């Protein structure tokens, strides 16, 4: 198939990475893929060998650049990621002059302020990465037939452990015989980092040499004042940004996602794929990833922003190795649902169905 993917995002967020993973995977399967990113995008630094294409600096010129990348007469798929891309798709081929199927991807759980682009006949289909996202689109009046649930996925190479001696328990000052909780996050308030720090202080206030430790990676701001206030300087370690998530995940005992808002976080999927029991919040697609408490879940779920409940969950997994082991096995089983191959299979099937519906295959 001829497939043109584009993202309007200029960061390395989970949604941007998912667009890259999809483009790279489809190209590896032999499809003719063009993947456009803004000129300021940092995505090329993640895969310097991939043939990225760049959108013009002026958004008004994006449509022309994308149209020129589409084959003149052969059927093609145009799939856009992020808000500005969706708005462009709404008007891109509204009068159906091209042999083209158009899709917009949505990976956030808030209700859009302007629903008009979602009602455009110029967008054939929407892909969403969580059932919560799908529910929001249906609340706008979209038919379920125009929405496909395609959860995020983690490519195997993302989970590889790199030979990095700086990312070991010993080098990070974390004893080998204590439970290590890991959070891979960012400084934004909605990520819930301060809630996690306060919960950890409630759960393990003594801070003895044998107390559990918490490692939070991906932070850029100075969290020392809060750690000092909580008396957690020796129990919580903050680490800056790193792409070596495989090494971090494989040294940990439990993964924690304290977010106040998420759809389907990549970090949670990465933790499941390596078999880490998880503690997550009941937001967006997190419950559908971790699993129902009545059916062999991969972790514990708590209300977002509730430090008391999070502290109880932290203690429960720290004090019960058998529970951690049971949830670790469940994590591996659930992680198999979020492989790159499964996502590519789903997406190829959607593309083919849309092209067939328009009589293009």
Residue 187 sits in a domain of what CATH number? 3.40.50.2000
**Contact between residue 122 and residue 101 where contact means Cβ atoms under 8 Å apart:** no
Same domain, residue pair 197 and 172: yes
Same domain, residue pair 171 and 317: yes
Please check the confidence at residue 182 and state whether its pLDDT lies above 80: yes
**Contact between residue 117 and residue 137 where contact means Cβ atoms under 8 Å apart:** no
Predicted pLDDT at 342? 96
Sheet holding 125-128, edge to edge: 53-55, 32-38, 2-7, 76-81, 100-106, 125-128, 147-149
Q: How many residues does the chain have?
A: 361
Q: Mean pLDDT over residues 286-309, rounded?
A: 92
Q: What domain count does the chain have? A: 2
Q: What is the pTM of this model?
A: 0.93
Please provide the average confidence, as pLDDT, over all residues in the chain: 94
Please check the confidence at residue 110 and state whether its pLDDT lies above 80: yes
Please check the confidence at residue 207 and state whether its pLDDT lies above 90: no
Same domain, residue pair 198 and 331: yes
Q: Tell how far CA 52 is from the center of its chain.
A: 21
Same domain, residue pair 123 and 200: no
- Helices in 1-119 by DSSP H: which ranges? 14-28, 62-69, 83-92
Same domain, residue pair 237 and 306: yes
Q: Mean pLDDT over residues 77-89, rounded?
A: 96
Q: Mean pLDDT over residues 209-223, rounded?
A: 92
At 349, the pLDDT band (50, 70, 90 cuts) reads very high
Same domain, residue pair 123 and 29: yes
Predicted pLDDT at 300? 97
Cα separation, 32 vs 23, whole angstroms: 10
Cα separation, 255 vs 1, whole angstroms: 39
Predicted pLDDT at 170? 85
Q: Mean pLDDT over residues 279-300, rounded?
A: 91
At 33, the pLDDT band (50, 70, 90 cuts) reads very high
Please check the confidence at residue 165 and state whether its pLDDT lies above 80: no
Same domain, residue pair 165 and 208: yes
**DSSP H helix total and E strand total for the chain:** 12, 13
Name the burial class of residue 176, with classes exposed (0-12), middle (13-18) and buried (19+) by CB atoms within 10 angstroms of its CB: exposed
Cα separation, 149 vs 139, whole angstroms: 15
Same domain, residue pair 193 and 60: no
Same domain, residue pair 216 and 295: yes
Same domain, residue pair 316 and 348: no
Please check the confidence at residue 166 and state whether its pLDDT lies above 80: no
At 40, the pLDDT band (50, 70, 90 cuts) reads very high
At 11, the pLDDT band (50, 70, 90 cuts) reads very high
Q: Is 214 helix (H, G, I), strand (E, B) or coil?
A: strand
Domain that holds residue 113: 2-153+339-357
Cα separation, 182 vs 237, whole angstroms: 10
Please check the confidence at residue 94 and state whether its pLDDT lies above 90: no
Same domain, residue pair 199 and 271: yes
Please check the confidence at residue 15 and state whether its pLDDT lies above 90: yes
């Amino acid at each position: 198939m001829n497939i043109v993917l584009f993202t309007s995002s200029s960061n390395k967020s989970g949604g941007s990475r998912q667009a890259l993973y999809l483009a790279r995977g489809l190209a590896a399967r032999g499809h003719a893929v063009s993947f456009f990113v803004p000129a300021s995008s940092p995505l090329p630094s993640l895969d310097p060998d991939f043939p990225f294409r760049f959108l013009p600096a002026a958004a008004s010129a994006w449509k022309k650049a994308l149209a020129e990348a589409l084959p003149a007469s052969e059927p093609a798929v145009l799939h856009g990621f992020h808000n500005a891309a969706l708005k462009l798709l709404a008007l891109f081929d509204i009068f159906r002059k091209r042999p083209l199927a158009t899709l917009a991807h949505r990976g956030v759980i808030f209700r859009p302020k302007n629903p008009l682009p979602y009602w455009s006949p110029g967008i054939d289909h929407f892909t969403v990465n969580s059932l919560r996202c799908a529910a929001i689109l249906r609340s706008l009046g979209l038919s379920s037939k125009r929405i496909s649930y395609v959860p995020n996925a983690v490519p195997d190479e993302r989970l590889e452990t790199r030979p990095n001696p700086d990312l070991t328990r010993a080098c990070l000052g974390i004893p080998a015989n204590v439970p290590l909780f890991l959070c891979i996050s960012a400084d934004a308030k909605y990520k819930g980092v301060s809630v996690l720090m306060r919960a950890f202080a409630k759960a393990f206030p003594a801070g003895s040499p044998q107390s559990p430790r918490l490692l939070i990676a991906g932070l850029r701001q100075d969290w020392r004042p809060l750690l000092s206030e909580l008396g957690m300087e020796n129990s919580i370690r903050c680490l800056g940004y790193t792409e070596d998530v495989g090494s971090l995940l494989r040294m940990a005992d439990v993964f924690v996602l304290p977010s106040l808002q998420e759809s389907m976080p990549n970090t949670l999927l990465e933790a499941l794929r390596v078999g880490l029991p998880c503690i997550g919040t009941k937001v967006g697609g997190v419950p559908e990833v971790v699993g129902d408490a009545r059916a062999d879940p991969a972790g514990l779920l708590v209300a977002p922003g509730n430090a008391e409940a999070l502290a109880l969950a932290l203690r429960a997994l720290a004090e019960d190795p058998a529970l951690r082991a049971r949830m670790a096995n469940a994590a591996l089983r659930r992680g198999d649902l979020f492989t790159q191959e499964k996502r590519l299979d789903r997406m190829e099937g959607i593309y083919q169905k849309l092209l067939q519906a328009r009589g293009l295959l």
